[in-house]
Structure 1
Amino acid sequence: MATPTPGKHTGQVVATPPVSTPFSSSNHPSHPAFSPHGPRSVVPSPQQVKKSPANSNTMYGYPGGGGHPTNSSFGVGYDSPSAAMALGGVSGLELGLEGMGTPLGGVGHLAVGAGHNGIGGSGRGDEEDRARRLGAVMDILKTSQGRISEKGIQHLATRLGFASIVQDIEIRSRTTSRPVIIAGEAISVDLVFESGLVKTVLLQFPTSPPIVNKHVDRAGEILMRDLEIAGNESPLSKKLDGFAANLEKLAAQDLLGQTNKPFNCFEAIAGIYENLEKLHKWEVEKLRESPDMVGKDQDFLERAVMCTRSGRPVMHERNRLGLSLDYWQEKRRIGQQKDKTKTWALLVECGKKPSAFYTSARVSENWISAEIEKDNVPAEDLLLAAADGPVLDWLEPETTLIPGPDPPKEGDAPRGDVIELVDETTGLRRPEVMFVAKFDPPLVVPGSVVAQLYHIVNMTFDTTQPTAYFDDLLFPRSPEERYSNDGRVIRCEVTVPVFDKDGKKTTQIHKNNLLVEGFEYGYELTELPFSHPRQLVEMLPYLRQYAFTSTLLEKSFGSSSKTFSTEVKKMVVPSTRSAFDSFMEGTLPQKEMTLDVNLKPGPQIRIVFPFAKIPGSNSAYITFDIKHNGVVEVVEENVLDKDTMSESKMLTSADLGKMLEITEDFGILVEYVQRRL
């Protein structure tokens, strides 16, 4: 959903303070040492016991009893555990284990007494404190899935709801091959261990149709890469995190299908992929026929379709299982290696439907017609589609129905499922499953864009949910930074690469000032439900607009830059000799330039920078509008002087916009303008 960036509140682990008063002598059940339901009171040290007003008859919660091991103190007449051990009242091992809460004797009973009847606390508050501490421990454990081993994979499979089986097989080479089989309702993963290392991984979808199994080899390769030991890795340090993330995704889809039989989530997602892939190939061929694309290679055409048309669907790529609809790429106009380029995508999955207001998912291979483009389009539709290209012939598949659940038996707990019966006579119903698009990475957009996206997916946007300002989500404020009615200023310093005519690279220091004008509420998009792939395609122009905007601002004011102080530095004039030495060593001081950037809603961005060739002024400005699909339009500038510029060096405002689209960097654009003009 479109949600603001929440603060992370982690429950603190608070221990019960030590108690130095006498404890109750009543008997209490013991708990395992590290059980989440066990006592959490702190056991007092021997020094604390000595300072306690308790005598030997009440020491550690036991009445005097003639030295009986379970009915007396550590020793008659002794109030010291060390003295008791000397007399054989309790062994050193028992004392050490009991101090950790293990109920082996007096100290174990002490912990129970303090947690239930003692002054250390009891009742509901103690249970809530215990639950908070258990939750904190679980959060810590979730961050790491452990290291790769047979037991580790078995524990992971059990936690995710899979069944796991391990077999021993003796092979001719006298080594032991141990297959580990992980089985769910619609999937199975077969792993083979040899000498403690994973040798093969086989992923299967036994009950799924061919459109699912046609991608199974690629998915198996990803799982194998998650488990294999690379040349620079060690079996002692290789973790299960990557494999666990992919297996958890499979488990979530498998569990949804299991509770909504015979609905197959893998088949539903594969059906969407088949139609988006058919659309993508058609758009690539149509673009190839364009006069502007003559001589362009296949990769260029696919990037152009991905960033301007209906995106590029990929199945099981970037070490991640599932369907991704890629819609934007960093430096999209420059060919780069795919694995080194940041890509924005929508991860298409199935999720549990929370209420009847959401449209149920459908299993179909007919989301768009075979012709792709619609014939005999009405005139009003042609006018609306003139700017966006052809009118696509989307189809509406039939509703997918599944058998209703068995009637509840007497004594069963009430069901919390969303049951939507379509035909009471047959008991057929819609599945409790919906399609979900997850934003990778999450995208920050203004509230007006969120409302438009919700309108596309036929939902109402809740404007009452808490939010933050658009710039605060992009650049979180420090605790010392205060709000001002005059706007917000962010100052950063970046190093900009500069290339001369011969291709030699130098660098230039830019001191950037970002002025945010106008308070606009923003939202961080993490996921959004949808019911038809058409809705995904309709959202893409808005998403590209702000993916490009965030890229521009991040490069000049984000993590790659550094905040600098506004204090005036003392100017040091180097001597001729020191300047010559610096020149010979290649350490000449770098020049600095100040670049002012104004961000307004729209989004509209205005940059102001020093430029000596402007008559009557030493500064230049260019104002850009960032349009849908990341298209840049220059609405105002004072750097292009047509009277003094020759035709061979003639630049237009469209050229400036294209340069920003190519460089995706204000600093590089400014350096280009200063050298070009």
Structure 2
Amino acid sequence: MATPTASKHAPTQVVATPPVSTPFSASNHHPAFSPHGPRSVVPSPQQFKKSPANSNTLYGYPSGSGGGHPTTSSFGGYDSPSAALALGGVPGLAELGLDGMSAPGMGGLGGPGRGDEDDRKRRLQQVLEILKTNKGRLSEAGIERLARRVGLDCVWEDHMGSGGSTRTLIIAGSALALDIDFSNNVVKKVSLSFPESAEIVTRHTQKAGDILLRDLQFGPNESPLTKMLDRFAANLERLATLDKLSVIPGLNCHEAIAGIYESLERLHKWEVARLKEQDNMADKDDEYIGRTAMCKRSGKPIMHTRDRLGLSIDYWQERHQIKSKSLSRDKEKTWALLIECASLPALVYTPIRVSEKWISPEILKADPAAEDLLLTAEDGPVLDWLQPENTMLPSTEPPKADAMEGIDQASGQKFPEVMFIAKFDPPLIVPYGVAMQIYGSVNAPLDMYQTSTFDGLMFPPGPEDKSEPGEARMIKQQTTVSVFDENGEKSTKIHKNTLFIDKIDYGRTLTELPFSHPRQLVEMLPRLRQYAFLSTLLRNSFNPEKAIPEEEKKSPGKTKMDKFAEFMSPASAEEISTLPLDVSLTTQPLSLKLVFPFKDRTANVRFDINLNGAVDVKEQNLLDEDAMDDGKRLTVADLGRMLEIAEDLGIWAEFVRRRLG
């Protein structure tokens, strides 16, 4: 075997010489994997693995660059891919952030240290988080993969029948079972069950199964290549989360949420019955009375609604006061609190309790104390809320001296490491002071370092917004308003709306909130409705997505003579019919001041938006209160009532101009 020697005129260089027994050693033979090589003789994988790759070849093929210079090698100047990988020299890995994958102990030869490994793990974790957002497409393998990803077990069963072969995917957890029947990769049936659960849980399984079936059915213009599993994945993840948090036997999170529904449903039915006894509800149908109880009383609990599994407490709906059979209530925007469970981070929050007796069967407290009367809203009933017993689990840990660790020293049991949470759907924007009150009512800490203005959250500034954060803002929007005359003929009016925000206030977006008792949620609903109505009113009058900048864009290319000609020309019919509306927003107290042309003067009206979205007119110069002796004339209360129904400042202004003009 040749021995490397040093040249007299060149620096010493070590050259690796391949063994004689390898197919690369013979110069008169073609490479073993070359198309020109012998096809009957192929080296074994062991022989090929032991043979070092020449710097001029890649698995027997030329590298493409030719020559034997190390810098032109396919492995970045290394004799073999293993050496290149060990020394971190494989091209392309640097772009992926995965270079330097050396063997242990190679850190001194260019391998990464501990910090590089942590950074690479962090990048890989980021890639996995991105991949988690893709739930996959509808197929047998896709649903099974999704179920295993959320931590549920899967078993397949094959069936033969007159209609052909079918397969059933059984998805099981500790407290649930989901059967999905397939026929040629098409979902035919979905069955959801909760073994060993109470009747308050199992009575809602059919409704939940129908939602899951709709999630897995092909809609119009959908195919296995386009049907995604996003909706089904969201519902399955909710089921899996409750299943993981459950400790069977002892704690069933499905039963805990169903218990809250039972208590609030009794309260809702009682409130509906009381509304029917009122004189102003004598001519109203049951649907209208139910919406009134939802938007003025304690909300409406619903299990499995709007294609979403779980408990929803609806507390506000757009146009809920309009009595029209042509309206589709399912399409109207609804505000709700979604009741779920989450892991208990610490004993700062009250652990979950499983009960359906959160309120007494009589609903009203027979003998309310003075404290109860003070905490109850004006003219409101004193509800008889109950405090269920704590739910305890057997503790497998040794006794601890500190009772705050969740261990009951007397019984040797522990509190569940689970709590209730309410998610705002949609998220609700409120001033910072209101957010502090809401968080304080559930004894939850509020992050004081998140500073955003209320108007900045309600109307996010666009790229053309020139105002600085914290400065007064002016938002303009041109809208088209439908107007009906006395004969019912429809026409349109153009409004140029301007919103002035002079006094800046900080705000917060409510997304989720821990709670321990449904009473806490019911008591905050009047305040939530106040800002749900405000957001509806501002969105209808000033669409944030279509808001124009404060300074109107000037038409380019116009000369002074063109501008003078426009000034001297008579106004067009469109300009004459355009109505300017100026609105000023104040958050403390929550009020809107509206100014617009009316008859031969300027109308000036101030609305206060109170709890439950009630509108009170504090200032106005439209009506002469001293001359209101005719019962057919509008009153100040009618002006506020009309804004509650219209939910649009432009529609309200046109109503007043037609009625009082």
For Structure 1 versus Structure 2, the TM-score category normalised by the shorter chain is: 0.7 to 0.9
Q: Does 1:83 align with 2:62?
A: yes
Q: Output aligned runs, 1:276-425, within 5 Å.
A: 276-335=264-323, 336-378=327-369, 381-382=372-373, 385=376, 387-407=378-398, 419-422=405-408, 424-425=409-410
2:190 corresponding residue in structure 1: 201
Q: Which amino acid aligns with 1:609?
A: F
Contact 2:265 2:301 in 1 (8 A): yes
Q: Which amino acid aligns with 2:504?
A: F
Q: Output aligned runs, 1:528-677, within 5 Å.
A: 528-559=513-544, 561-563=546-548, 565-567=551-553, 591-601=577-587, 602-614=589-601, 619-642=602-625, 647=630, 650-677=633-660
- Between the aligned partners of 2:450 and 2:420, the Cα distance in structure 1 is 25
Q: Which amino acid aligns with 1:134?
A: L
Q: Secondary structure at the match of 2:524?
A: helix
Q: Which amino acid aligns with 2:436?
A: A
2:7 corresponding residue in structure 1: none
In the TM superposition, residue 136 of structure 1 has moved relative to its aligned partner by 3.5
Contact 1:74 1:85 in 2 (8 A): no
Deviations 1:269-299 (A, max 9, x none): 1111001000000100000000010021111
Q: Secondary structure at the match of 1:340?
A: coil
Q: Which amino acid aligns with 1:242?
A: R
In the TM superposition, residue 230 of structure 1 has moved relative to its aligned partner by 2.4
Q: Secondary structure at the match of 2:330?
A: helix
Deviations 1:81-124 (A, max 9, x none): 9634799x9xxxxx8xx99xxx9778766438754469987334
- Between the aligned partners of 1:560 and 1:505, the Cα distance in structure 2 is 27
In the TM superposition, residue 377 of structure 1 has moved relative to its aligned partner by 2.6
Match of 1:137 among 127, 134, 139: 127
- Between the aligned partners of 2:472 and 2:528, the Cα distance in structure 1 is 26
- Between the aligned partners of 2:130 and 2:404, the Cα distance in structure 1 is 33
Flag the 1:644–1:196 CA change in 2: closer, same or farther, 3 A.
same
Q: Secondary structure at the match of 2:606?
A: strand
Contact 1:75 1:84 in 2 (8 A): no
Q: Secondary structure at the match of 1:283?
A: helix
2:206 corresponding residue in structure 1: 217
Q: Output aligned runs, 1:168-183, within 5 Å.
A: 168-173=158-163, 175-183=164-172
RMSD: 3.6
Deviations 1:21-56 (A, max 9, x none): xxxxxxxxxxxxxxxxxxxxxxxxxxxxxxxxxx9x
Deviations 1:286-320 (A, max 9, x none): 00000010021111000000000000000011100
Q: Does 1:490 align with 2:475?
A: yes
- Between the aligned partners of 1:605 and 1:285, the Cα distance in structure 2 is 35
Flag the 1:489–1:574 CA change in 2: closer, same or farther, 3 A.
closer
Contact 1:212 1:267 in 2 (8 A): yes
Contact 2:460 2:544 in 1 (8 A): no
Larger radius of gyration: 2
Deviations 1:391-413 (A, max 9, x none): 111111111111013459xxxxx
In the TM superposition, residue 334 of structure 1 has moved relative to its aligned partner by 1.4
In the TM superposition, residue 642 of structure 1 has moved relative to its aligned partner by 5.0
Deviations 1:551-599 (A, max 9, x none): 11112223464415524666869999xx9xxx9xxxx789422211111
Contact 1:494 1:561 in 2 (8 A): no
Q: Which amino acid aligns with 1:470?
A: F
1:150 corresponding residue in structure 2: 140
Flag the 1:299–1:113 CA change in 2: closer, same or farther, 3 A.
closer
In the TM superposition, residue 261 of structure 1 has moved relative to its aligned partner by 4.9
In the TM superposition, residue 135 of structure 1 has moved relative to its aligned partner by 3.5
Q: Which amino acid aligns with 1:608?
A: V
In the TM superposition, residue 341 of structure 1 has moved relative to its aligned partner by 0.7
Flag the 1:65–1:572 CA change in 2: closer, same or farther, 3 A.
farther
- Between the aligned partners of 1:460 and 1:278, the Cα distance in structure 2 is 28
Contact 1:334 1:662 in 2 (8 A): yes
- Looking at both structures, which has the greater relative contact order when contacts are Cα pairs under 8 Å and sequence separation is at least 6? 1
- Between the aligned partners of 2:17 and 2:458, the Cα distance in structure 1 is 68
In the TM superposition, residue 256 of structure 1 has moved relative to its aligned partner by 0.6
- Between the aligned partners of 1:78 and 1:149, the Cα distance in structure 2 is 44
Match of 1:510 among 472, 495, 498: 495
Q: Output aligned runs, 1:469-488, within 5 Å.
A: 469-479=453-463, 481-483=466-468, 487-488=472-473
- Between the aligned partners of 1:518 and 1:204, the Cα distance in structure 2 is 55
- Between the aligned partners of 1:573 and 1:220, the Cα distance in structure 2 is 67
Q: Does 1:234 align with 2:229?
A: no
In the TM superposition, residue 163 of structure 1 has moved relative to its aligned partner by 0.5
**What TM-score does the superposition give when structure 2 sets the normalisation length?**
0.81
Aligned residues, how many?
A: 587
Q: Secondary structure at the match of 2:461?
A: coil
In the TM superposition, residue 239 of structure 1 has moved relative to its aligned partner by 1.0
Deviations 1:655-677 (A, max 9, x none): 11111100101111111111111
Contact 1:632 1:657 in 2 (8 A): yes
Flag the 1:509–1:402 CA change in 2: closer, same or farther, 3 A.
same
- Between the aligned partners of 1:674 and 1:352, the Cα distance in structure 2 is 56
- Between the aligned partners of 2:576 and 2:236, the Cα distance in structure 1 is 51
In the TM superposition, residue 648 of structure 1 has moved relative to its aligned partner by 6.5
1:449 corresponding residue in structure 2: 434
- Between the aligned partners of 1:478 and 1:184, the Cα distance in structure 2 is 47
Q: Which amino acid aligns with 2:620?
A: E
Q: Secondary structure at the match of 1:369?
A: strand
Contact 1:226 1:242 in 2 (8 A): yes
Contact 1:456 1:538 in 2 (8 A): no
**What TM-score does the superposition give when structure 1 sets the normalisation length?**
0.79
Q: Secondary structure at the match of 1:133?
A: helix
Q: Does 1:522 align with 2:495?
A: no
Flag the 1:559–1:383 CA change in 2: closer, same or farther, 3 A.
closer
Q: Percent of aligned pairs with the same residue?
A: 48
Q: Secondary structure at the match of 2:497?
A: strand
In the TM superposition, residue 266 of structure 1 has moved relative to its aligned partner by 0.7
- Between the aligned partners of 1:113 and 1:326, the Cα distance in structure 2 is 53
Flag the 1:377–1:78 CA change in 2: closer, same or farther, 3 A.
closer
- Between the aligned partners of 1:326 and 1:375, the Cα distance in structure 2 is 28
Q: Which amino acid aligns with 2:438?
A: L
Flag the 1:641–1:217 CA change in 2: closer, same or farther, 3 A.
same
- Between the aligned partners of 1:323 and 1:76, the Cα distance in structure 2 is 67
- Between the aligned partners of 2:82 and 2:350, the Cα distance in structure 1 is 60
Bigger shift: 632-641 or 478-487? 478-487
Deviations 1:502-525 (A, max 9, x none): 323222222221111222111111
Q: Secondary structure at the match of 1:166?
A: strand
- Between the aligned partners of 2:57 and 2:529, the Cα distance in structure 1 is 78
